[in-house]
Structure 1
Amino acid sequence: MGSPKVDEIGPWSEVKLDILKRYAVEYSKILSSQKNPSFFHVYIDAFAGTGFHLSKATRQPEKWYWAVL
């Protein structure tokens, strides 16, 4: 079995991942601050990929999955 294919993403995808990360962090703060929470955190791997990508700009691997954990 070969290595998994690593996606190479451009600036627009990096912006979208940054927005997702910032949204998830702030939304988690809101959920965590509830006195009697009726909602709770559940992690769903909607991307189901390798957990990282190559930036076209830097050619370096970058993790994204930690943004929502």
Structure 2
Amino acid sequence: MSIYYTYQHEDAWKVALERGYLQGDPRYAMFNEEGIEFFKPAYDWMVEQYEQRIGISLNGNYPVWC
């Protein structure tokens, strides 16, 4: 098994430990923190491009980038 690195909100990691896997849950997105809200439109555009180019819907979740 390989090792992957990703930057996640602490609460997302806690839930991942309970679940057994990491999911791109919008409730734990880094841009939900104060002062980072101006990133959301650009991030949503990037996610939309991912869905269009890959052809896979994320169903309202965000990808886990690593």
Greater strand proportion: 1
- Give the alignment's TM-score, normalised by structure 1: 0.31
- Give the alignment's TM-score, normalised by structure 2: 0.32
- Structure having the higher Rg: 1
